[in-house]
Amino acid sequence: MIIDILVAEIGSTTTKVSAFDGINDPKPRFLGQGSSPTTVISGDVTIGLKKAIEDLKVRLKTTELEARESFACSSAAGGLKMSVHGLVYDMTAKAAKEAALGAGANLHLLTAGLLTPENLTTIQDLNLNIIMIAGGVDYGEKYTSLTNAKAIARLRLNIPVIYAGNIENQESVKMAFTENGQEKYLYITENVYPKIDVLQVEAARVVIQNAFETHITKAPGMEKVRDIISQSIIPTPGAVLKAAILMQKEIGDLVVADVGGATTDIHSVTEGSPEVQHYSLAPEPFAKRTVEGDLGVYINRDRLLATTTPQIMAKELHISETELFRIIDSYKAIPGLKQIPVVEYLTKIALCMALDRHVGRYANIYGNTGKSSVPEGKDLTNVSYIIGTGGALSRLPSGKKNLSEILIWRDPRILLPPPSAKILIDQHYIMAAVGAFCDKYPDAAIKLIKNSFGI
């Protein structure tokens, strides 16, 4: 069987492969999906990938499967581990952080100001994949970002380092990396904070994703994925955000919730309402991603379980505490029938906590005229759609119900989506897969995602 596109999605707990055909036809088709547990622990992610392909063959009722093009996205082995270093926390450091998260990275260190000896030791110990240096508006403060760049160059880490600070430093940064034999690892891009209250993160996101393939070969067996995949490999969260940005142009402002086994990601694509923006304290990116590394329904289930009690949980699930403990003791990455209600319960907790961390709110400030309230953070009040993807929302029965609780969570201090927002489920679980090839085939991507949403 010959198909147009095969996309591999190698996650922390599950590896999926999705098949697409008729990619240039008026009605492109999603043919099916195979899956298998991810095999990082086995020392080779391609074991799980090959099993997922075999599962797909069974579902498509074929013994042979050949794709004209193949793409991949991955968050295996901890995903893309980055550190970010800026000048002022609420300005350049925040801008660099938004660029990194939007590209699909997992941040392991964020600093502001000059790097200390302790910071440099931490950077060496973290086994990072990419480092980003920012600092200073263009033609403004130069010393901090240049000093930090020189210090990181001297570490000779042999990993990609992205400079996205004051453009006046670019030649000096190049010289520092050349002097330390690190010039081939240096990427220079636009300043992520070129002027006061101006975020410019898209160019940096592209550079991060281009550098991702340098990193991804470091996950166990990932060097072999190149033998299977003919096109690009990008971070899974970055693929989801690409799909979200594409769909915002088609259907309007939206929020995408992706509850997974290891993390819960919230993506929002909206400028917010003009009224809120007028009084906002600081700029927010049009497309924003937050990743909660402590909120996952499999790897981090214990942290979610700690937010409630066995008594309350058993009562709400209408089971005995003994049965609850039995389910938790035999908990699997891909849940069985008895485990599903527990996963759905934890999904609701993860979803609410992650959204609370993502959304902006009104803060009190005090001035000459007394106390006043001003908005800070991401404004979701103009959102028209709330979309669920990821296994816990796409695959389990209560995905729509869990998302609907967002709409009844009313607090005038929090900049939440309005009650009129519509809820959509990525029923085919293909947002990441389609995001992996949407740059090349945007029209087909839109049609495939709308079909998955049921619109």
Q: Report the 10 Å Cβ neighbour count for 36.
A: 20
Q: What is the pLDDT of residues 263-273, one digit of tens each?
A: 899 999 999 99
Task: Read off the pLDDT of residues 122-133 as tens digits, 9 standing for 90 and up.
Answer: 999 998 989 999
- Give CATH for domain 244-430: 3.30.420.40
**Which is higher by pLDDT, 185 or 77?**
185
Cβ atoms of 161 and 187 closer than 8 Å: yes
pLDDT per residue over 409-425, tens digit each? 778 889 999 999 999 99
Name the pLDDT band for 213 (thresholds 50, 70, 90): low
- Reply yes or no on whether the pLDDT at 405 is more than 90: no
Mean pLDDT value across residues 177-196 = 94
Question: Residue 153 is encoded by which pair of tokens?
Answer: 């160059």
Q: How much of the chain, in percent, has pLDDT values that exceed 90?
A: 65
Q: Are 399 and 351 in contact (CB under 8 A)?
A: no
Q: Do domains 2-77+219-231 and 244-430 have the same CATH topology?
A: yes
Q: Over 60: is that where the pLDDT of 217 sits?
A: no
In this prediction, residue 91 carries a pLDDT of 84
Give 392 or 79, the one with higher predicted confidence. Answer: 392
Amino acid sitting at position 374: V
pLDDT at position 79 is 64
* Per-residue pLDDT at 218: 56
- Segment among 1-15, 33-47, 189-203, 210-224 with least mean pLDDT: 210-224
d(CA 21, CA 74): 22
Please compute the mean of the pLDDT values over residues 314-319 and round it to a whole number: 95
pLDDT of residue 76: 66
Check pLDDT > 90 for residue 433: yes
DSSP assignment of 273-339: -HHHHHH-SS---SEEEEEETT--SSTTHHHHHTTS-HHHHHHHHTS-HHHHHHHHHT--SS--TTT
pLDDT digits (tens, 9 = 90+) for 14-36: 899 999 999 999 999 999 999 99
Task: Say what angle helices 236-251 and 202-216 make with each other, to 10 degrees.
Answer: 150
**pLDDT the model gives residue 210:** 80
pLDDT score of 215 more than 60: no
pTM: 0.85
Q: What are phi and psi of 411, to 5 degrees?
A: -150, 115
Q: In this predicted structure, what is the pLDDT of residue 314?
A: 95
Q: How many residues does the chain have?
A: 455
Residue 42 scores a pLDDT above 80: no
Give the pLDDT mean for 429-436. Answer: 96
Q: What is the mean pLDDT of residues 195-210?
A: 85
Give residue-wise pLDDT tens across range 341-386: 999 999 999 999 999 999 999 887 776 777 778 888 899 999 999 9
Residue ranges covered by each domain of the chain: 2-77+219-231, 80-213, 244-430
**326 CB-near residues (< 8 Å, 6+ apart):** none
Mean pLDDT of the chain: 90
Q: Which CATH number fits the domain 2-77+219-231, given the four candidates 3.40.50.1820, 3.40.50.2300, 3.10.450.50, 3.30.420.40? A: 3.30.420.40
CATH class of 80-213: alpha beta
Alpha-helical runs (H) found in 64-116: 94-103
Give the closest residue to 430 by CA, choosing from 202, 295, 247, 253.
Answer: 247
Asked if pLDDT for residue 73 goes beyond 80, the answer is: yes
Q: How far apart are CA 123 and CA 157, in angstroms?
A: 9
What would the DSSP string read from start to end of 432-449?
HHHHHHTTT-HHHHHHHH
Residues linked to residue 139 through DSSP beta bridges, in sequence order = none
Structure tokens at 53: 């392909």
